[in-house]
Homo-oligomer: A and B are copies of this chain.
Amino acid sequence: MATPTPQTAPTGGLRERKKQRTRDALIRAALELFTEQGYDATTVDEIAEVVDVSQRTYFRYFANKEDVAFAVQEMVEARFLEELSARPAAEAPLTALRSAVMVAWDEIGSAIESVIPLELHMRSYQMIESTPALVAVHLRRSSELEEQIARLIARREGLDVDTDPRPRVLVAAFSGVMRVAGKVWGEGQDCSVASIRELTESYLDHIGPAIADDWRSHP
């Protein structure tokens, strides 16, 4: 109580660095095992053994077996939110979302590399999309992110999310499209960053026309 708020050493301590290393090692080991032998065929004990820690320690870093698969995604999402907050207020909502995604895709690469090889991350993404248990978690996480995005958009436009349905509706539509783009990408061959960037861009361009009623007159 009387301590000057020591607060677990800001950054410099050996302890902190060691913890970070263990965490990164767990992520790397987990993703490697998941992508090689499959998620279900991998046990938490295996992951812990590779990193040479006890199973109990794994569960002190990650709440469950699934969470470790999304540790990198979490970084990406945080990056996207930052980018969205930084978009000029003059941009229309959908435009701001689109721009933020594009900028984020260009910048996250290096951030990811600091934890795991980018190629491993790409393979992990596809692994998630083809593992029912992880698809479910991924969707839930996405919907939580949507709520945050909706609130950001509402703030930009000076609206209240609980009164005006447009922020949530727009974000719901936007996210749905993003998800489909990611899914289609995962099913395709080209697993490069450029590929998903293009696909995303193309799909976002279709959102307007798809809502319009007369598909037959605009083929």
Give bound CA distance, A132 to B208, whole Å.
32
> Chain B: which residue is nearest A215 at the CB level?
B157
Residue numbers in B under 8 Å from A88 (CB-CB): none
Residues of A112-143 whose CB lies within 8 A of B: 132, 135-137, 139-140, 142-143
Residues of A156-190 whose CB lies within 8 A of B: 157, 159, 165-166, 168-177, 179-180, 184
A9 at the interface (CB under 8 A from B): no
Instruction: Count the copies.
Output: 2
A95 at the interface (CB under 8 A from B): yes
Is there an interface contact between B177 and A169, defined as CB atoms closer than 8 Å?
yes
Identify whether the interface residues of A are mostly helix, strand, loop, or mixed. Answer: helix
Residues of A89-110 whose CB lies within 8 A of B: 92-95
A202 at the interface (CB under 8 A from B): yes
Give bound CA distance, A171 to B214, whole Å.
15
Residue numbers in B under 8 Å from A2 (CB-CB): none
